[in-house]
Structure 1
Amino acid sequence: MSNSDAKKKRMKLLRNQQKDVTIQRGVADFSTHERKTKTKRESMDKEIKKYKKDVRND
């Protein structure tokens, strides 16, 4: 499989100038694989429990 043009440029920089530009990439502070919206079950639970009081036995 061939390399992309961008990867070829990065490899050339690494070869000629010993500069690894992949180090400059930022890392996200949050997970990019988490669900953003509620599931159907979560939204149903919210409607069911919306006006119920939380009674705890102390």
Structure 2
Amino acid sequence: MAKSAAYKKRAHQLRNTGKDVSTFRSDVDFSTHVRMTKTKKEKLQQYQNKYKKHFQQGLRPDGNAFYIA
């Protein structure tokens, strides 16, 4: 398998200066991304607002958005 350019640069620096730059990488043991599941209220609101409310409930008595005049 071919070596990447970054791998070659790290190996070159290790050979010449003796510094292993991979040891300077910060290892984070926890996720900094906040993961939250949606609440029931948020799910219902998303479902209601889906497709920009093309068919709004209650616009006509039978719930039909289209009507023939």
TM-score by length of 2: 0.46
Taking the aligned partners of 1:38 and 1:28, their CA distance within structure 2 comes to: 23
Which residue number in structure 2 is paired with residue 26 of structure 1?
Answer: 26
Amino acid at match of 1:22: S
Taking the aligned partners of 1:37 and 1:4, their CA distance within structure 2 comes to: 37
Taking the aligned partners of 1:13 and 1:5, their CA distance within structure 2 comes to: 12
TM-score by length of 1: 0.53
Amino acid at match of 1:2: A
Taking the aligned partners of 2:34 and 2:29, their CA distance within structure 1 comes to: 16
After the TM superposition, which residues 1-58 of structure 1 pair with which residues of structure 2 at under 5 Å, given as runs? 1-31=1-31, 36-38=35-37, 43-44=39-40
Return the structure number with greater relative CO, CA threshold 8 A, min gap 6. 1
| Structure 1 outlier segments of 4+, above 3 Å | none
- Percent identical among aligned pairs is 43
Report the count of equivalent residues: 40
Q: What are structure 1's unaligned runs of at least 5 residues?
A: 45-58
